[in-house]
Structure 1
Amino acid sequence: MSGYPDKHSGHMSAYPPRRADAQLNRDRIVQKAREMVREPGELKLNAVAKACGIGQGTLYRHFPTREDLLAEVYRHEVDELVAAAPLLLARHQPVEALAAWFDRVAAYARVKRDVFAAVEAGTWRDLAAHSLGPIGEAVELLLSAGRAAGRIRPDAEARDVIVLISWLSRLDDAELDARGARLLAILVDGLRA
């Protein structure tokens, strides 16, 4: 495909790169929507525009529908989660990197739960299918480093970890706050060699 490289996704785009101010607006919209999706009730695009201090036309140029915006919030969260794995491995021993990554998984689980509750079933299925590969690759990166160091059990598979951490997005905030860290610590201990 010919086109322009997208500096955020790495994929080719049919559209030219955004101006710096347009990209700042887009980033601000996504961040504000991420914060607001946790609030009770339906996420309203006009409320997001107002909270960002921009006009509705600017928001609609970036995100024509509410589902477009929520899908981008989710994609952004997945991208940050996946990018964290190699950074954590560069700073920590494998098991500690995995534990720190699981701390990020808890925040991701909240966003996933809130976004999936707000979009139609077809959209969340597409989003889940899109994120499974990159998240699985991040988990495998962390597990492989731990296996190579002799700190993670040799039979640990990324798919098993994904099944276990997926339950976090089914917990409400109170339960996630009360039990999330303990559940992830149990998972880390179960993965140790």
Structure 2
Amino acid sequence: MPASSPSGEVPARSKRADAQRNRQTLLSAAAEVFVASGVDAPIREIAARAGVGMGTIYRHFPTRADLVVAVYRHQVEACAEAGPALLAEADSASEALGRWAALFVDFLVTKHGLANALRSDSGGFDALHAYFLDRLVPVCGELLDAAAAADEIRPDVEAYELMRGIGNLCVGDDDDPRYDPRRLVGVLLDGLRRPQSS
């Protein structure tokens, strides 16, 4: 429990830390709901997942577009931070790349719905897309370089090229139960792997 001042008030720093944690919890819950149900999912579903009232969400994010943009940035940062962490903990660089690609696919579900949520603000969407590239292309490049250096994948694939390919495979999802972008992304990554010598 945060220490209180002589007047019984919680210090401002603790309040800010609590507010930041609450915001991160909301964004994580919203991201999970958006991945499962799309960006048009009811706010009450997000509130239930986060364990808060709907008023709490509206205090942090007055409009759906505010929430979608915040989730987008939250997921970009999660993907960016996951790359080095996966390289450190996975058994191989190619495994780290595969696990990162799975996170990236989940992120793309939200990204594809963002255009509709921001259709009246194309400049805002363009700025977010630039931010997405600036943060994630170097991370994907680091994963590819590590796997190529370990001779686990072919060395001639660029990060932007791979991310664009994964993105194109995810566009076709559109709630078609016969289409599974994750499976096809797996096939794409299998095509990068070096054959194992017997």
> What interval of TM-score do these two structures reach, taking the shorter chain for normalisation?
0.7 to 0.9
State the 1:131 CA deviation.
0.5
Paired with 1:71 and 1:153, the residues of 2 have a C-alpha distance of 35
Distance 1:49 1:148, change over 3 A: closer
Which TM-score applies when normalising by structure 2?
A: 0.73
- Tell me, in whole angstroms, the C-alpha distance in 2 between the residues paired with 1:146 and 1:98: 8
How many aligned positions are there?
A: 176
1:33 to 26, 30, 34: 30
Letter in 1 for 2:143: L
C-alpha distance in structure 2 between counterparts of 1:177 and 1:35, whole Å: 22
Encode CA deviations 1:20-51: one digit per residue, 9 max, x unaligned: 33123312332333344454784666x47854
Report what 2:153 is aligned to.
152
Q: After TM superposition, where is structure 1 displaced by more than 6 Å over at least 4 residues in a row?
A: none
* TM-score (norm. length: structure 1): 0.74
Aligned-partner SS, 1:70: helix
The code of the aligned residue for 1:93 comes to S
Percent identity over the alignment is 35
- 2:113 corresponds in structure 1 to 114
Query: Does the 8 Å contact 1:109/1:168 carry over to 2?
Result: no
The equivalent of 2:8 in structure 1 is none
TM-superposed CA distance for 1:191, in Å, is 1.9
SS in 2 for 1:74: helix
Preserved CA contact (<8 Å) 1:152 1:191: yes
Distance 1:177 1:17 in 2: 49
Q: Between 60-69 and 155-164, report the one with greater CA deviation.
A: 60-69
Cα shift at 1:55: 6.3
Does the Cα contact within 8 Å between 2:26 and 2:57 map onto a contact in 1? yes
Amino acid at match of 1:74: Y
Match of residue 188 from structure 1:
189
Gaps of 5+ in 2: 1-12
Structure 1 Cα separation of the partners of residues 128 and 45 of structure 2: 22
- Alignment partner, residue 3 of structure 1: none
Could you say what the CA RMSD is over the residues aligned between the two structures, in angstroms?
Answer: 2.9
SS across alignment from 1:153: coil
Map of 1:70 onto structure 2: 68
User: Is the CA contact 2:173–2:180 (under 8 Å) kept in the aligned structure 1?
Assistant: no
CA deviations 1:60-114 (Å, max 9, x no partner) are: 5433433222111011111111212112211221112111222222211212223
Cα distance in 2, alignment partners of residues 94 and 154 from structure 1: 13
Kindly provide the amino acid, as one letter, of the partner of residue 147 in structure 1: A
> Among 87, 109, 125, which residue is 1:89 paired with?
87
- Does the 8 Å contact 2:39/2:114 carry over to 1? no
Q: Counterparts of 1:22 and 1:99 in 2: how far apart (Å)?
A: 34
Task: Name the residue aligned to 2:137.
Answer: 136
CA spacing shift, 1:50–1:190, aligned 2, 3 Å: closer
